[in-house]
Every structure is written in structure tokens, then in C-alpha cells.
Amino acid sequence: MRNIARSRWTRVASLAAVGVLALSACSSSDSGSEDTAAEDTATEETVAEDTAEDTATEETEAEEAASGDEECTELTPASLQLQWFVQAQFAGYYAAKDLGFYEDACIDVEILEGGVDIVPQTVLAQGGSDFALAWVPKALASREQGAGITDIAQVFQRSGTLQVAWADSGIESPADFKGKKIGNWGFGNEYEIFAALGEEGLDPASDVELVQQQFDMVALLNREIDAAEAMTYNEYAMLLEAVNPDTGELYQPEDFNVISYSDYGVGMLQDAIWADEARLADADYADLAQRFVTASFEGWIYCRDNPEECADILTANGSQLGASHQLWMMNEVNKLIWPSPNGIGIMDPAEWEQTVAISLNSPNLEGATVITTPPSDTAYTNQFAEAANAALQADGVDTTGEGFTPITVELREGGA
């Protein structure tokens, strides 16, 4: 039985500590939409409209059998803490909720939106939610500081971080960063850059001018910086949604040089589902985790096969992003998940090693690395993901997405 020894006093003291700083992780949440600055960062519950679509119902029934659950008399409540506001980056979970996959798994899921000052893995570790989404490096750092969390499903299989420069800038690889103004979001999202610089033998302190960007692409568009950090699924689209004053048309991919950190072997693992490690010893929680993971995977699979509908689901759930931007995001996120050669959510050991190595060895400007000691073996587990894959495959569901082809998305100005 887990003993959660959290007295009120501890909670107050710890909340005071966290609250005073009042600024922490965004992780991939930095790639928030332009409207985020204006939005409240309250952990409001997104009210899901239980729209049971016709097409979904059939699949739901199939999945219900696949997840192999018994008669459901009362739904188990469960909460999921997101890293940012509702957007296609979290499509699978919203789809699973709206399409009834969670319900069929006998779970009543409450999705908690993130925000600028919300650290999802800390919320999880403090017992504020049952599960959380977080990028692996930041979660490992929290883990090293005592947060008892475990990666139970590595949903995003590859890094979506880019460094984008103008096509005429001559910057085509990290080696070209030398002597340039390299933008990044700060807030702990710059380690891939440091790793890339390290690989090229460049000293971040003297060979490069690092500049923190705001959560827009203005600094690059105004050529105040030479290369901007961007996520494939978000900030990059912001560029392509902006009008080129010279042509009167939207910017085209040819106008930019896109450097993907994955291509240079310095990508770090990103969105994953994290659970409370100590609590996993509790059979009920472990069972809940299993059901949650399986149903979430169903949601992601649905979104792989029906990206437009999932984009609509996000909008229906209150996402502020424009329609074309949302669809772009959905499509790009799919590319980060699919194909999952070992099956969705199953950790690729090589990627894990790479992420851990960079976390241990690439110092930032202050000389600090993400973690100082290697994470223990319980940092992640494939137990739940493997069981989920097995159950779904038994029902004939494609869990690897081998034949996955992305759609073409046409962006409109401002992402409308």
C-alpha cells in the first residue's frame, strides 16, 4: 500500500517554494500557439463533449473487446496533466475521451490543460494528477530531484525539434552555427542545441551567440536572429503561415533551411506518458494505468487514420489554433509517432540511450547538465505499452503504422 506522507504543511511549504519562483517548465509546451500569452494558465478542466460519432462507435465496440475488461459498473476517475493548452499535440487523448475509448475501458478521464507555470511531472509527483505528459529530459531532471515518476509509454518516438534559418543565410547544419545568433526558448529546452554544438566542437559560450526567443517567430522574421528554434508541428508552421512582404504570398519551405536535430543524432525523446512510480505497486493503480495506456493508444491510432476528424475534435474541445494550423500540427505529430517500428509507445533503447547520454554529458552555458547521475532502471517500463500493443494487435489493429503516409496540409495565413 502506498503511503503518501504528504502533510498539509509540506504541501503548503512546497507550494510556496514553487509558487515564489512562478516560472518553470514549458518543455514542448513552449511551442504554444500565439494566443497563449493571453490565456489563463489555470488548470481548468476541458469539458469534453461526448460526441459519439457513428464511425467511432463500431470501432469502439471492437476495442472494448480488445481491452478485455469485465462489466463496468462504475467508471474509475483518472486525470491526465498536459504540458500545454489543448492542441493537436495531445490529440490521442482527446480523441480517446471524445470517442468513448476511455469510457469503454471503464475510466472517466479528466484532462488538465497545462500552462506557462505548470510543471506536469511535478503535478504528478505531488499527487495532483494520476498521469502526466512530459518530455523525457525534463522528467529525468525532476526524477533526480526526487520526483517518483516512471515513463510508461514513449508515445513520441522521435524528436520534433528544428533549428530554422533563412535559405540565404548559409546555415545548413549545426557546424554553421558558429558566430551566429542562435535563438532558443530558454526554459530548459536548449540541450539539443548544446549537444549539437558539442558534436561540432563548438563552445556555446564563445562560438555562438545564444538568444532567447519569445513564443513567436518574429525574431527570425525580422532577421534579428539567424536561426530560430522551432517544433515541426508548431513554430515552423507559424513561418509558413506568415505573408512574405516581397511576394504577397505565404512563405514557402524553400525560403528556409530546416535543420532537424534528429538527423544529427542529437535528438532527445519528447512526449511520453508518466505515472507515479511508487503507486504502480498498487494493483488498482497499475490496472488503471494499463487501461489508460491502451485506450490512449487507441486514440492515437484513430488520429493516425483520421487526422482531419481529430483536428476537429481538438477545435471542439476549445483549442484556439486555426483550422489549418491544427491540421498541420496533427499531421506533424503523427510523423513523430508513426511509424513506431516496435509498436506504439514502446521505448526504443537506442533513443533512450541517446537521450540519457546527452542529458548526462552536454552542459549548458552555466556548466549544468540535465542530470548528473544515470537514471535508475525504473525510469521507464515497456510493460504497459507491450501489453497494450498485444491486446490491440490481437484485435487486428495496426499498432506500428508501417504503412503510414502523412497527408499534405495547406496552410493559410495565420493558420486559419
Stretch that binds other proteins, among 72-80, 94-102, 121-129, 327-335 (CB under 8 A): 121-129
Question: Which residue has cell 494550423?
Answer: 325
Q: Which is nearer to other proteins, 142 or 319 (CB)?
A: 142
* Residue 187 touching other proteins (CB under 8 A): yes
Q: Which is nearer to other proteins, 17 or 350 (CB)?
A: 17
Peptide bond into 375 cis (omega under 30): no
* Residue 350 touching other proteins (CB under 8 A): no
Q: Which is nearer to other proteins, 63 or 190 (CB)?
A: 190
Q: Which is nearer to other proteins, 210 or 346 (CB)?
A: 210
* Residue 324 touching other proteins (CB under 8 A): no
DSSP secondary structure, 28-73, as one string = GGGS--GGGGGS----PBP-------HHHHHHHHHHHHHTT----S
Spatial distance between the Cα atoms of 414 and 416, rounded to a whole number of angstroms = 6
Q: Which is nearer to other proteins, 48 or 205 (CB)?
A: 205
**Is 238 within 8 Å of 216 (Cβ atoms)?**
yes
**Is 291 within 8 Å of 106 (Cβ atoms)?**
yes
* Residue 225 touching other proteins (CB under 8 A): yes
Stretch that binds other proteins, among 4-12, 53-61, 71-79, 106-114 (CB under 8 A): 4-12
- Residue 126 DSSP class: T
Give the x/- contact pattern for other proteins in 132-161, rule: CB under 8 A: ------x--xx-xxxx--------------
Supply the minimum distance, in Å, between the C-beta of residue 189 and other proteins. 8
User: What are the beta bridge partners of residue 243?
Assistant: 250
Among 60, 126, 389, 399, indicate the residue that binds other proteins (CB under 8 A). Answer: 126
* Residue 365 touching other proteins (CB under 8 A): yes
Spatial distance between the Cα atoms of 278 and 158, rounded to a whole number of angstroms = 28
Give the x/- contact pattern for other proteins in 195-224, rule: CB under 8 A: --------------xxxxxx---xx----x
Residues 172-191 as b/e (b if ≥16 CB within 10 A, e otherwise) read eebebbbebbbbbbebbbbb
Supply the minimum distance, in Å, between the C-beta of residue 88 and other proteins. 23
**Is 210 within 8 Å of 365 (Cβ atoms)?**
yes
Among 74, 249, 366, 377, indicate the residue that binds other proteins (CB under 8 A). Answer: 366
Q: Which three cell numbers stand for residue 287?
A: 490496472
Stretch that binds other proteins, among 19-27, 235-243, 287-295, 377-385 (CB under 8 A): 19-27
- Residue 85 DSSP class: S
Stretch that binds other proteins, among 9-17, 82-90, 286-294, 316-324 (CB under 8 A): 9-17
Spatial distance between the Cα atoms of 217 and 242, rounded to a whole number of angstroms = 9
* Residue 4 touching other proteins (CB under 8 A): no
Taking alpha carbons only, the member of 259, 268, 235, 262 closest to residue 175 is: 259
Supply the minimum distance, in Å, between the C-beta of residue 165 and other proteins. 15
Among 2, 4, 13, 263, indicate the residue that binds other proteins (CB under 8 A). Answer: 13
Q: Which is nearer to other proteins, 1 or 21 (CB)?
A: 21
Q: Which is nearer to other proteins, 47 or 365 (CB)?
A: 365
Q: Which is nearer to other proteins, 20 or 283 (CB)?
A: 20
User: What are the beta bridge partners of residue 109?
Assistant: 78
Stretch that binds other proteins, among 7-15, 104-112, 333-341, 402-410 (CB under 8 A): 7-15
**Is 389 within 8 Å of 343 (Cβ atoms)?**
yes
Supply the minimum distance, in Å, between the C-beta of residue 243 and other proteins. 17
Among 245, 367, 396, 403, indicate the residue that binds other proteins (CB under 8 A). Answer: 367
3-state SS record for 298-348: HHHHHHHHCHHHHHHHHHHCCCCCCHHHHHHHHHHHHHHHCCCCCCCECCC
Taking alpha carbons only, the member of 181, 384, 198 closest to residue 296 is: 384
Supply the minimum distance, in Å, between the C-beta of residue 65 and other proteins. 41
Spatial distance between the Cα atoms of 291 and 130, rounded to a whole number of angstroms = 13
323-337 and 307-316 helices cross at what angle (nearest 10)?
Answer: 120
* Residue 23 touching other proteins (CB under 8 A): yes
* Residue 303 touching other proteins (CB under 8 A): no
- The residues that touch other proteins, with contacts defined as CB under 8 A, are 7, 9-10, 13-14, 17-18, 20-21, 23-27, 37, 119, 121-122, 125-126, 138, 141-142, 144-147, 181, 186-190, 209-214, 218-219, 224-225, 364-368, 370
